[in-house]
Amino acid sequence: MSSGLVPATFTIPLLLETSRVRIRPLTICDVVKDYDAVMTSVEHLKGVFGPDSGWPSPAMTLEQDLIDLGWHQKEFQRGSSFAYTVMSPDETRCLGCLYIDPSPRPDYDAMIVAWVRQSEAATGLDQHLLETIRNWLRTSWPFRNPGFPGRDVSWEKWNAGC
């Protein structure tokens, strides 16, 4: 099934590994590690989805996170958007997430949002992840102009263009 984000014939990449990260589809089985990454990074993650986003809430429960992960997993199965977990290479810790969503802007063919947990911010992991994602999108995805709101274009300009 194709949602228009990618062609129906496109094979969705399921794994990307570097020396620092293992990127694979986010599932409900990741809830404990994902919840830990989010809840230990609440202030660090404020605004990652834009200035008006309330995510993550310091009051978010494990159950609420499970529901979110279930929704992301279903969207991935339907092909309407693609949420990936960013794990340590040995899968012992969730280091962040990557979201590939339809763009609300006609000048971009996808919206890309990624984050790393606060404890990894000073290690350069965010830059490594961003470079890895950009290369992956260029070499393994059908996008010609993916947008990185909050990075390449401010959220204010991104939202103004919608």
Q: Kindly report, residue by residue over 85-125, the tens digit of the pLDDT.
A: 999 999 999 999 999 999 999 999 999 999 999 999 899 99
CATH number at residue 28: 3.40.630.30
Residue 10 included in any domain: no
Residue 24 has pLDDT above 80, yes or no: yes
Residue 127 included in any domain: yes
How many domains are contained in the chain? 1
Sign of torsion over alpha carbons 104, 116, 42, 77: positive
pLDDT at res. 16? 98
Residue 161: pLDDT band (50, 70, 90) is confident
Q: Determine the structural domain holding residue 116 and report its residue range.
A: 16-160
- 100-109 per-residue burial string, b: 16 or more CB within 10 A, e: under 16: bbebebeebb
Work out the average pLDDT over 36-65: 96
